[in-house]
Each structure stands twice: as C-alpha cells, then as structure tokens.
Amino acid sequence: MVASFDDTSPSNKLTLYPHKIEWVDRVPMARKGEGEPVEFEETEPLRLECKAFMTAIETRVPPRTDGESALRVLRVLADCQTVLESGIPEGTSIPVTSRVETPGVHPSAHVDEGAIIGKGTRVWHGAHVMPRAQVGADCVLSQNVFVASGAIIGDRVKIQNNVSVYDGVVLEDDVFCGPSMVFTNVRNPRAHVERKDAYETTWVEKGATLGANSSIRCGVRIGKHALVGAGAMVTKDVPAHRVVIGNPARPVGWACACGEVLAGEPGQQGVLTCHRCHSTYVLDDGVLTLAGA
C-alpha cells in the first residue's frame, strides 16, 4: 500500500494506491493498483506539524514520529535492498536486529560508510566491514575479520580471527565461527570470469557452531544448533543439532543447544539427554527435537 499526498491539488489530496510486488522467476514485478481517494478534514499539514513540534517541546512528550522512527524506516529499506541484491529466495525472512551507529570499533579497523553495526558490537584489530553490510547487536568481529556488503549477521554472533563473511552469507543469532573457517559464494570461480550473478546463499541458522578451519561450500544450509567439527568440509545441508566431521563432512552424532555432544546414537528412534544441562531430546526418523517443545 502506497499513500500519496498532494497539497497543491484542489481535491483528493490524499490517495491510497494498493500496489504490490509479485515474484516471477525470482524477479520482483510491480503490480500497480488504481488510486483510492481518502476524505479528511481540510487543514494545513505544515501548520499542524509545527504545532505538534512546539507541543512536544513544551510538554517534553515525544511526537508520534521523530528522527529515530525515520531512521528505522531507512533501515527497513536498506534491508529490502540487501535482500534484493543478495538473491535470497522469495518468502525467506532475515534476522531483525537492533542497531545503532556508534559501535565499539578498534582504531585499526575499517567500518565503511553505510555499514550497519548493532549496539554493543565490538570490531577488533584490522577488521573490515563493507558498505551496506549488516551486523547485529552484541556481536564480536575478531582480528582480520572481513564482512562483505551483501552479508547479513544477526545478534550475539561471534566471529573469530581471519574469517571472511562474503556476499550471500546469512548468519542468524548466536552463531559461532571458529578461527580461520571459510565461507564461499561461487562454486566454480575463475579469476578471469566475472560471476557475481552466480553467488549462492549460504544460511547458518540460530546457535550453530562452525569449527576452526572448517570450510562451507556455498548454497548449503546449516541447521539450528548444528555443530561442524574443526577442519570439516561441508558440501551439503546439515540438519538441526547434527554433529558433522571430516572431508567431506559426515554425521557422527547430535548436539544439545548448550553445545555438548549428546551421549549415544540410537539409530533413527530414541531419547537423548544432555549430561550438562539435562535437556531431553526426542530422535524420530532422523529429526532431533527438544522434548515437550
């Protein structure tokens, strides 16, 4: 829905247009609707705006909309632009984070203009965050971390030294990236062939751990609370809570949300209990779920 206000028009100053976007072969297509005039009391908007501003000053009561609300609108528009440019499939949600413009950045780090960094996030020695990159609140970007313009990072994500988060990589909340682990975004790169249109989305769900020196092939999805062992080479999707190791990565067990590897591997059915936090999980047909959830 789009609203248009034309103060110079003698009538029908406010018009609502029921526009919408339809996706055709992963391409957004505008579908414009006929305008519908809206009746309202004729007053001078500028005079009312000035009056509301003066009232806010006198009463110290914040107005209905202010600079902060305008900034939130701009952030939503920036999110939409990033999604359109990153090739994320239609209907896929992205992490929503609280953000501010003054994070704790080490003097040797580079945060380019236009990057969005969340409240409480720390950007350490030699890190580089590109324009339009999105990093959530309370994250840690350690030494020599690189975040590309099309990357999306949720809240409380910890990225250890020497990790590059490329265009098309999405990290949900509470993801851990171990030292020197590797993301990719093109399956068949060539130095002399431009393949930016071939970037694939790599999605790491909430609470997953990617061990030191592990490598993640582009286009895969790492499930919630999954645990990828150090040095593993992931070439296909990893289910939630699954523990994988080796090259290529193979499943060897299940992980609790707290990170402990669950005792036993009872085939396709059974009950697993974490010895650390005592959470109980039900394994049914290769899917692990928290008991009672």
Q: What is the chain's pLDDT, residue by residue, as a tens digit (293 residues)?
A: 778 878 777 777 788 888 888 877 777 787 888 888 888 776 767 778 888 888 888 887 777 777 777 777 777 787 777 667 666 666 666 665 544 444 589 989 999 988 999 999 999 999 999 999 999 999 999 999 999 998 999 999 999 999 999 999 999 999 999 999 999 999 999 999 988 888 899 999 999 999 999 999 999 999 999 999 999 999 999 999 999 999 999 999 999 999 999 865 545 578 888 888 989 898 888 888 888 76
DSSP letter for 51, please. H
148's CB contacts (< 8 A; 6+ apart) are: 130, 133, 164, 165, 166, 167, 169
> Which residue, 64, 90, 110, sits at the end of a domain?
64
Contact between 127 and 145 (Cβ < 8 Å): yes
Contact between 40 and 14 (Cβ < 8 Å): yes
Q: What pLDDT shows up at residue 34?
A: 84
Task: Tell me whether residue 11 is in a domain.
Answer: yes
Task: Tell me whether residue 280 is in a domain.
Answer: yes
Task: Tell me whether residue 138 is in a domain.
Answer: no
Task: Tell me whether residue 167 is in a domain.
Answer: no
Q: What pLDDT shows up at residue 101?
A: 43
Q: What pLDDT shows up at residue 99?
A: 45
> Which residue, 64, 85, 114, sits at the end of a domain?
64
Task: Tell me whether residue 60 is in a domain.
Answer: yes
Domain count for the chain = 2
Task: Tell me whether residue 22 is in a domain.
Answer: yes
Nearest to 226 by CA among 214, 87, 218, 276: 214
Task: Tell me whether residue 38 is in a domain.
Answer: yes
Residue listed under structure tokens 């009056």 = 51
Q: What pLDDT shows up at residue 208?
A: 98
CA gap 263, 242 in Å, rounded = 13
Task: Tell me whether residue 98 is in a domain.
Answer: no
Q: What pLDDT shows up at residue 48?
A: 80
Distances (CA, A) of 51 to 44, 57, 151: 11, 10, 43
Domain carrying residue 276:
260-293
Classify strands 158-159 and 176-177 as parallel, antiparallel or unpaired.
parallel
Nearest to 152 by CA among 197, 105, 99, 194: 99
Q: What pLDDT shows up at residue 100?
A: 44
Contact between 42 and 64 (Cβ < 8 Å): no
Q: What pLDDT shows up at residue 24?
A: 79
Q: What pLDDT shows up at residue 121?
A: 95
> Which residue, 64, 80, 115, sits at the end of a domain?
64
Write the single-letter amino acid at 36.
E
Contact between 241 and 288 (Cβ < 8 Å): yes
Distances (CA, A) of 71 to 4, 42, 76, 90, 144: 21, 29, 9, 25, 30
Q: What is the CATH number of the domain that holds 276?
A: 2.20.70
What is the distance of C-alpha 251 from the center of its chain? 26
